[in-house]
Amino acid sequence: MAGSIFAYENTNNNMFFGIGGEANANTREGAAIGGAFSFGLEFAGSFAAGLRVIFSNDIKSIFTIEPLAFFRYNLPLGISGFFVQAEMGASFFLEDNKGYPAFSVGAAAGWRFKITEMFYIEPYARAGYPFIWGAGLNAGLLLPLKAGKGGER
C-alpha cells in the first residue's frame, strides 16, 4: 500500500507541527469547542513524543487551556497510521473571572493520514481527567531530520 493515504510508514526520524480543532467536555454541561497546537519528534519508527496546547470555550462561562506532554506509539498493524497516545499536564480554567488549575491525564487514539510527503491530517478521540472526552482533527507538516555525518543516512 505504498503511496496510499492509509499506509503511513515512519521509517525516518521526523519533526512535526500541527494545528487543529477540537470539541470536548471542558464545561459544566454540553460541549466546548476550541483548537490545538502540537509539536513532536518521531523516532525509532514507532514512537513519538512532544507537546500539545489545547484551548476551548463553552461559549457561556468557561475558558480552558491545557498544556500537555504526550508519548505516542504507532501500532504495527500492517496498515500503519493508527496510534495510541498518553497525555499528561495541566488544565487551567477561567470561569466567571476566577481561575483554577487541575492536573490533567488522559489517553488518545487516532489515525494519521499522510496526504503528501510533508502534509498529514489526523482525526483523533481522547478521554481522561478532567475533560472526560474530546475529539478533533489536526493537520500538519512533517519535516525529516537529518542523521549521520553530513546529513547522510
* CATH architecture assignment, domain 14-148: Beta Barrel (2.40)
Q: In 10 A of CB 74, how many CB atoms?
A: 20
How confident is the model at residue 11, as a pLDDT? 58
pLDDT per residue as tens digits for the range 81-113: 899 999 999 999 999 889 999 999 999 999 999
How confident is the model at residue 79, as a pLDDT? 66
Q: Where are the domains of the chain?
A: 14-148
pLDDT under 70 in the chain at which residues?
A: 1-12, 78-80, 147-153
Most distant pair of Cα atoms in the chain: their distance: 56
CA–CA distance, 147 with 128 (Å, rounded to integer): 36
How confident is the model at residue 20, as a pLDDT? 98
How confident is the model at residue 60, as a pLDDT? 87
CA–CA distance, 68 with 107 (Å, rounded to integer): 11
- What's the Cα-to-Cα distance from 29 to each of 26, 60, 72, rounded to whole Å? 9, 10, 30
